[in-house]
Amino acid sequence: MSSEIRYNRLVPHRSRRWARAEVGNRRPVLSPMNLRARALETRIEKLKQQITALGDLRPGSLTPQYNVCGKPACRCKATPPLKHGPYYQLSFTWKGNSQTQFVRRQDLPAVRKQLRNYRRLRQLLDRWMVLAMELSRLRLQPEAQRGRKTRPKPRVFPKT
């Protein structure tokens, strides 16, 4: 998409002078609304880059488990008991289905990193959506103003 098309769509009806300023000068002079849109676009672009750089992802949570075995004289039956573990259980719910799986000790660092990355992804997406909603409102506003101008509300005259 060329920046000119994008710019024109952002120009509100009442600030045509800003558009004229851009045509006349090499450097575009942007209205406050367009400046805000540019700032939002830049921040969204940065978030996209951060998302791309995240690496492996994994939804879910890791919890340590302690077990009791079947041996009668084991330390896990002493008072106080010294249970076996921790064993790490990874659990997550995906599309309504709960799943759990054990993670080997040597895989823990990698899995922890994937879980962190997934939490980070959700955070970045939240930020992106907040900015996206504002940007969408900014872009729709000029259309709404134009709509009101071309189709004014019918005036109701009081009957006398």
Nearer to Zn ion, 66 or 102 (CB): 66
Q: Are 10 and 35 in contact (CB under 8 A)?
A: no
Q: Which is nearer to Zn ion, 67 or 123 (CB)?
A: 67
Q: Is 78 in the site for Zn ion (CB under 5 A)?
A: no
Compute the least distance from the CB of residue 123 to Zn ion, in Å. 41
- Please write down the HEC assignment for all residues of 62-98: EEEEEECCCCCCCHHHCCCCCCEEEEEEEEEEECCEE
Q: Is 76 in the site for Zn ion (CB under 5 A)?
A: yes
The radius of gyration of the chain from alpha carbons, rounded to an integer in Å, stands at 29
Binds Zn ion by CB under 5 A, chosen from 62, 74, 124, 131: 74
The residue to which tokens 């993670």 are assigned: 103
Distance CA 58, CA 64 (A): 17
87 lies in the site for Zn ion, by CB under 5 A = no
**Spatial CA neighbour of 57 closest among 118, 120, 128:** 118
Q: Is 21 in the site for Zn ion (CB under 5 A)?
A: no
- Of 45-53, 71-79, 90-98, 125-133, the segment contacting Zn ion by CB under 5 A is 71-79
- Pick 35 or 69: Cβ nearer Zn ion: 69
C-beta of 69 vs 108, nearer to Zn ion: 69
Q: Please list every residue from 88 through 147 that binds Zn ion, using CB under 5 A.
A: none
Residue 27 DSSP code: S
Six-digit token string for 52: 């791309």
> Which residues lie near Zn ion (CB under 5 A)?
69, 74, 76
